[in-house]
Amino acid sequence: MVRNQSVERDPHHYRRILLTGAAIGAYVLAFLLLYPRAGRVVTAGAVVPMAVLGLLWGARAGALGALCSIPLNTLLMRAAASSDWDVMLQPLALPGVIGVIIVGTVTGGLRDLRAETEQARLARYRADARVLESERRFRALIEKSSDGIGLVDAGGNIVYVSPSITTLQGYTPEKLVGKTAFELVHPDDQPQSRARFAELLRGARTVTMEYRFRHGDGSWRWFKGVATNMLDDPDVRAIVVNFRDITERKQAEAEVQRSHAELEGRVAERTAQLNQAKTFLEHLVAASPGVVFRVDLHDFRPTYVSPNVERLYGYTQQEFLEHPTFWMGAVHPDDLAVVLARLKLVLERQADHVSVEARVQHKAGSYQWLDMYAVAEHDVSGNPVAVLGYAVDISERKKAERNLHEARFEAEQANRAKSEFLSRMSHELRTPLNAILGFAQLLEMEPHTPEAAECIGYILRGGRHLLELINEVLDITRIEAGRLELSPEPVAVGEVIADSLSLIAPLAAQRNVQLNTELATPHEGYVLADRQRLRQILLNLLSNAVKYNRDGGLVAISVTETPRGRRRINIIDTGPGIPRDKLDRLFTPFERLGQSAVEGTGIGLALSRRLARLMGGDIGVESQEGEGSTFWVELDPATHPIERLPWPATDRATDPASDPATDAAGEEPQRLRSLLYVEDNLSNLELVRRALAARGSTTLHTATSGRQGVILAREHRPDLILLDLHLSDMSGVDVIHELRADPRTAWIPIVVLSADASADQRAALLANGAQAYLAKPLDVNRLFALLDDSLMVGGPMGRG
């Protein structure tokens, strides 16, 4: 070590000091070399003179080696304990050595000083100056030290405190010396301090204590004190207290403790919250009607089943958890496969949840319907590992569903029975009616008297009225049974109105009612309807308007547009009008409003309303008593079929590139040369006419009835016949039969058009000789494709 080496190197320094000490005579007691860090004497020089040293250490003066192990403060205390001595400490400022010289002055020794020589005095003066200088440094050192040293006697009175007390406790040593050590200790700490002190007095060597001490500025400071009982030591005879300000440490500790406490508080609070949540959830699950479960997808083993399973289904949690396949035994054998299949779907990633209804057996034996819903749980790599879900008893719902189903079935059954009954009734009524009307017709053809003619007329009218009634009842029945089939298509409003007016004209003339057709003629525009049924409605409304009119009255038709964009056909009469309170009953079957004198079925309006609604429209009435009524029927507007053409028809027709003449010149000999279209819907006729005009080169023949169609076919023998199935005079099938029966037309390919043919009907039509079937509304491109196709199949062909 550097310091030790220095000591070795320069022993003359010590000698010089010692010599100086010797020069001052008895005053130098000893010098000590200290390592400041350890605070222990490491070496000691000779003590001069031996006699003085003897005063201090008595007979052991020679045993300097012993000093080496005595702590400095003990040494000081020993010195201080001897009341005859003033002890001075002087720091040594020798190179390589840090240490102090302890100088003891015997109070009484001043007398000896007088005897000193001037020279010696001078030397002493010099030494004093050095000592003072050293002492100042030492004090600074001690005062800046954080530790303080005090000596207390057996009564607890302070006999010494080191100067650092001023910094530490804000008192000068003088103020403290003589006071009781406990006086300034915090009252709370006094018992402990006194107890420690008592321990010392009882023989303990050293005690340690922490206590608060009143600072000079009035505040409390924490100190840690180590007290050593040296009362028995003849050299000290005091209790040595080594103390250190630990206020900051205490504060830090308190801070740590506080934050620790706070942390613990928070943990406790959070734990309490979690417990509360857990308790809440447990209560919730326990009280809920649903069992919560978790099933491992690996082996379908339940890894959790909520305890309420016992309350709800009689099984214990353990039964499910201990036996992996236990739950499968509880599921109804017919339902297990479905449940497992759903779980597998999740396992195979084809679904991310399971939703399945299955029967589960209660431990008591009965089966209950459960609705199970579970979502997939995935591991970190996204593989489904389990499903977590709940199962709820839906037995009641199932029961209600079954009851509902049964009730519906019964209602349907009843409805079917009613339909069947009416259908049979209708059939049964027709048979006797056949005889009545049949023979009356025969009689009408025979020569007879005018009286007989009148009678026959009554029979025929009555019979036909009855037939009309039966037909309408049958229609209503079919509508209610959902068996009335409609073929809705765009229908030209003006066309159907003109049609109906011409049919009603004879009746109007007979009743002397004028028909105002002016309003009706220019009505362009289309509605979506079944043409026959729309005509049926209009005829019904028109015949009512005529029948319930006054003599010389007026019936008019107008077409308006409703705010919702529908087309409304109004039939306006000049009849007596209908009281407001009876308007509602008009559309109820067999409400004749007391006008039984007027011939009618009483079911027409009810049927018309059902038909209108079936076509997506409606029917209604506005009436002013004494002024007449307006019955209306409104329907959704439709687009003109020609507007749906995929190209502007006129442009194409005038395009020189597709000049019909050029095409006809034989460049494309395979082209269809002539076509017969049998169709009674004028707008469809117009559509095909324009489409073919754009295509060019094909001659179109049109027929508006089946009979006319057959005649034209024989006459023109077209390459192809387009045949509408719904003709007014003959059915489409009849037309096919007639065409096939005649060798002149038997080979002509027939394409059937219909809006409503079922698959069976289509098959039957094709089997009866039609080549193809096209659905309405007509798709022009498909029509053309078919035309080309039927040509390729090859012109004249015999009936297959």
Q: What is the nearest approach in angstroms of another protein to the Cβ of residue 437?
A: 4
Residues contacting 777, CB < 8 A, separation 6+: 489, 490, 641, 644, 755
In the complex with another protein, the residue whose CB is nearer, 503 or 664, is 503
In the complex with another protein, the residue whose CB is nearer, 652 or 726, is 726
3 state DSSP class of 797? coil
CB 77 within 8 A of CB 45: no
In the complex with another protein, the residue whose CB is nearer, 4 or 426, is 426
Q: Please tell me the distance from the alpha carbon of residue 442 to that of residue 82, in angstroms, as a whole number.
A: 170
In the complex with another protein, the residue whose CB is nearer, 312 or 770, is 770
Q: What is the nearest approach in angstroms of another protein to the Cβ of residue 430?
A: 4
Q: Please tell me the distance from the alpha carbon of residue 635 to that of residue 753, in angstroms, as a whole number.
A: 24
Applying CB under 8 A, the residues found at the interface with another protein are 423, 426-428, 430-439, 441-442, 445, 463, 467, 471, 474, 483, 485, 731, 733-734, 737, 761, 764-765, 767-768
In the complex with another protein, the residue whose CB is nearer, 117 or 431, is 431
**Residue 759: how many other CB atoms lie within 10 Å:** 7
CB 286 within 8 A of CB 307: yes
In the complex with another protein, the residue whose CB is nearer, 102 or 765, is 765
CA nearest neighbour of 607 among 662, 548, 536, 694: 536
Q: Please tell me the distance from the alpha carbon of residue 390 to that of residue 466, in angstroms, as a whole number.
A: 65
Q: What is the nearest approach in angstroms of another protein to the Cβ of residue 287?
A: 59
Q: What is the nearest approach in angstroms of another protein to the Cβ of residue 767?
A: 8
Here the contacts of 664-673 (C-beta below 8 Å, separation 24 or greater) are: 664/696, 664/697, 668/697, 670/791, 670/792, 671/697, 671/698, 671/791, 672/697, 672/698, 672/719, 672/720, 672/787, 672/788, 672/790, 672/791, 673/697, 673/698, 673/699, 673/719
Q: What is the nearest approach in angstroms of another protein to the Cβ of residue 666?
A: 41
| Alpha helices for 646-716 (secondary structure H) | 649-654, 660-662, 682-695, 706-716
Q: Please tell me the distance from the alpha carbon of residue 714 to that of residue 730, in angstroms, as a whole number.
A: 17
In the complex with another protein, the residue whose CB is nearer, 166 or 761, is 761
Q: What is the nearest approach in angstroms of another protein to the Cβ of residue 465?
A: 12
CA-derived radius of gyration, the chain? 64
In the complex with another protein, the residue whose CB is nearer, 708 or 768, is 768
Q: What is the nearest approach in angstroms of another protein to the Cβ of residue 739?
A: 13
In the complex with another protein, the residue whose CB is nearer, 274 or 764, is 764
Q: What is the nearest approach in angstroms of another protein to the Cβ of residue 487?
A: 11
3 state DSSP class of 625? coil
Total residues found in the chain within this entry: 800
Q: Please tell me the distance from the alpha carbon of residue 533 to that of residue 492, in angstroms, as a whole number.
A: 14
State the first-to-last Cα distance of the chain, in angstroms, to the nearest integer: 130
CB 593 within 8 A of CB 583: no
Q: What is the nearest approach in angstroms of another protein to the Cβ of residue 523?
A: 30
In the complex with another protein, the residue whose CB is nearer, 289 or 438, is 438
Exposed, middle or buried, 215 (CB in 10 Å: 0-12/13-18/19+)?
Answer: middle
In the complex with another protein, the residue whose CB is nearer, 11 or 432, is 432
Q: What is the nearest approach in angstroms of another protein to the Cβ of residue 776?
A: 16
Q: Please tell me the distance from the alpha carbon of residue 180 to that of residue 190, in angstroms, as a whole number.
A: 12
Q: What is the nearest approach in angstroms of another protein to the Cβ of residue 373?
A: 46
The DSSP line for 705-753 is SHHHHHHHHHHH--SEEEEESB-SSSBHHHHHHHHHHSTTTTTS-EEEE
